[in-house]
Structures are given as C-alpha cells and as structure tokens.
Amino acid sequence: MTKVLLETAKKLCNTIMEDFPGIIIKKWQYDAGLCLVGFDAMYKITGEKSYNEYIHNFFDYFIHDDGTIETYNPEIRNIDHINCGKNLFLLLEETGEEKYKKAIELLASQLKIQPKTPSGAYWHKNIYPNQVWLDGIFMGEPFSARYANEFNHPEKYDEILTQFVVAEKSTYEPRCGLYAHACDESKKMFWADPNTGRSLNVWGRSVGWFCMALVDTLDWIPEERNDIRQTLIDMFNKVIGNVVKYQDEDGVWYQVLDCRRSDNYQEATCSCQFAYALNKGINKGYIDADVYKPYLKKAVDGIMKVFIREEDGKIYMGNCCAVAGLGPDDNPRRNGTLDYYMSEPIRDNDFKGVGPFLIMATEYEE
C-alpha cells in the first residue's frame, strides 16, 4: 500500500496542476496553502521539480520584494489568512530570500492585533466577534509556534497553549466526547446554544483541523517547554481516542461525526485529516502505535477504496464537502443544524483533503 499511496499522490499532484494550470488559485487562500505544503512534501520525496515550481508560482504572485502580500490586509483580522504563512518558512529555508522573512513578520503582526474573547482565544474573524472556531486553531497555532521557535519569541508559547486550552474546553461536547464546530462566548449568535455557546453539531472537518493543529504545533514546541508539550499530547490522545470510535466499517468518517441520519455521508476531507493526524501521531510517538496502527491502516485502505478514483490517467478524490461555516448574522442559512451540514455542496479534489493526503502519502509506512 505504501507504494500505491505514493503513486496515487503523484498522479493527484499532476491532476491538480493540469486542472489548475500555472497557479493553483489567485487568492490568498488557506486551503491553497495547505495543498502546497503537500506539494512541498511530494517534491522533497520525489525530486520532481515541477512540484516546486508550482509552489513558487503561487507565492511569487503574492509576495512582493518588500514582504507585503498581494490582497492581504491584517486589519481584516481573518485568522484563515495566516495559514499560507506556513509555506513561507519552507521558502525561506529553501531560498534565504529576505522577502519571505518580511512576509512572515507581517503575518505575525496580525496576531498582535487579533481581538480576543473574554477567555483569551482569538476571534476567528472580525465578522465573528467573541467566537472560537476549531478551524482557526489550525490556521494560526502551527504558524505561531514555528515563528516563536525560529524567530526567537519564546514568550509566545504560553499564548499558544492558551488558544488550545480555551478551544478545547469551550467546544467539548460531552454527549460524544468530541468537539463542536465553534463556540460563541457571548452566547448571542443564532446558532449558539444559549447555555453553553456551542454550535449544535460535531462537523468532521472542524475536528480534523483540531487534530492536525495539535500534531503540527508540537513540531515547534521545544523540549524545555515540556509542560506545554505534555498538555498538547494529552489533548491529542483525548481527541483521537474518541475520533476512532466514529470510524465506520469502511475505515472513514462522516460529514457529521456522531450522526447516522440517512443523508449524512462519508466525507473525504475529514477522513484524510484524521489519517494524517493518526500517521503523524504514531510516527512522533504521541500515541500508542500498537493501539492506533490498525485504525490508521483501515483509514488509508478506506480512503483509497471509498474516495479515490482514476479517470483517463487522472486521480480524483470524491465526496469532499466544499465549505461549511456558522453565520454571520446576515447569513442565517449557516445555522449549524444537521440540515445545514447536509446541504453544502460536495465536490472532487478539494484542497482541504488533497493537502493532508499528499503529506500523509510521503510519511506513511505499513
């Protein structure tokens, strides 16, 4: 399976480059950044220069020589916009070009002005006041941890821990041991439970973001901050121990994890994210390999069986939820109900699934 997985990943890269020629997208968009981290992993293991060129095409379009970023404005305070910054560390490491260092500093400056909830968590965006979204933990904290580590800002580690602790506590859903998509600490939003502030359901991809955020942030927390490392490792063991309980007979996960309503469906992006987190957690020793390797193998086999198909030499990952969110006030359709999560469009080769799949394929060992 290891060889098959890598060959599939190569074809998937080639399909993305063919379907999105030249540049993956002309938007400073978090999922493009995630997908291109996958391209970097593939470049490093295969040596295929076209993968590296594809990464440079995107970032050369956006990053100016003075480190400013085309279309990016930190005053919007959208934490999703931080995620592409993870690629800038890779480019700085590869090229040494000063513009990447300046762009990293620009993104880091947003976190200095990002509003916070009363509990100390970053708002997800200006338009989502006092709201903690699990998506935002992935967008911000691995970047922040690497910035703290490589740019000598050790004072940031405690802030990073706060983001995880608040998110974990505020979104935890006792009925299933998993996590709600978001929490409104003001308890005012139409989608929020008036008693807890939590959204109503456990969206698969939001829990996937949380799992990946934990294992990716741990890469950059130094050993001397073992207090933080152990807290995050314990947190990961807690979440992944409950995630695997909702793995289905095919080895994959559903759009809403704890629901088996007839219109719920096996969803590819969260399944790839959980497989990625399982694989990395095992490889790094954060979770017990003897316990979790069977779940990982079942997940990889299931992803290949349920979601991956080949057509005319191109690879497609099906059953990807295109998008899901909550609010804002002027978008009452996004109310966090089961009906809402089942209503969002489904598409092939969504970058939010492709990226984790590519990275996992370069690191997976049976």
Looking at the chain, how many residues does it have?
A: 366
- Characterize 158-187 residue by residue with b for buried, 16 or more Cβ atoms within 10 angstroms of its Cβ, and e for exposed: ebbbebbbbbbebbbbeeebbbbbbbbbee
Cα distances (Å, whole numbers) of residue 37 to 31, 54, 352, 359? 10, 11, 11, 8
Check residue 199 and report its DSSP letter: -
Residue the block writes with tokens 């060992």: 365
Q: How many CB atoms lie within 10 A of CB 226?
A: 11
Q: Is 135 a residue of the active site?
A: yes
CA-based Rg of the chain, rounded to a whole angstrom? 19
Which region, left, alpha or beta, applies to residue 202 given φ > 0 means left and ψ of -120 to 50 means alpha?
beta
Burial class (CB in 10 A: 0-12, 13-18, 19+), 147: buried
Per the residue annotation, which of 40, 80, 135, 350 is the catalytic one? 135
49's tokens: 């220069």
Q: How many CB atoms lie within 10 A of CB 64?
A: 12
Handedness of CA 342, 343, 347, 351 (dihedral sign): negative
Active site (catalytic) residues = 135
